[in-house]
Amino acid sequence: MDEVVKLIKAAKLFFLATENDGQPDVRPMGSVFPVNGKLYFVLAKPMNLFKELMDNDKIAISAYDGKNILRLSATAVSDDNADVIEELYKAAPPLKNLFPESVIAPFYLKNATAKIGEFGKEPVSCNF
């Protein structure tokens, strides 16, 4: 998981793919947050993405840091536990202004399979 976090931070953006009415839907996202041994991303409950994840929790993530490519598949699990939200606010204080408690929607990655590698080289796999 540490290598995934490192690559996403270096890339500054990652792309989250979901399924929307039978069609793929990809969005740029900004940050991931390791909390209590799980890897989280955050969105707002009013977003279409929240509804998509509640309907189908299977996701894919990709990122590129200029050297390495990340390809990840996982299940996105909604977790609006107050302790988790507080940890996320501590990790990134601007989140509190972007996503107040009434709308914040943290998700963690479950059964994640990640492949990280350079173009033309065999990727390294990790599961978490």
Query: What does the pLDDT look like over 59-87, one tens digit per residue?
Result: 999 999 999 999 999 999 999 999 999 99
Domain topology for 2-127: Pnp Oxidase; Chain A (2.30.110)
The answer to whether 77 touches 57, Cβ cutoff 8 Å, is yes
Global pTM?
0.93
- Candidates 103, 100, 104, 123; CA nearest to 33 is 104
Taking the CA atoms of residue 50, residue 52, residue 58 and residue 63 in that order, the dihedral angle to the nearest 10 degrees is -70
- Confidence at residue 72, expressed as pLDDT on a 0 to 100 scale: 98
**Cα 113 to Cα 128: distance, rounded to the nearest angstrom:** 7
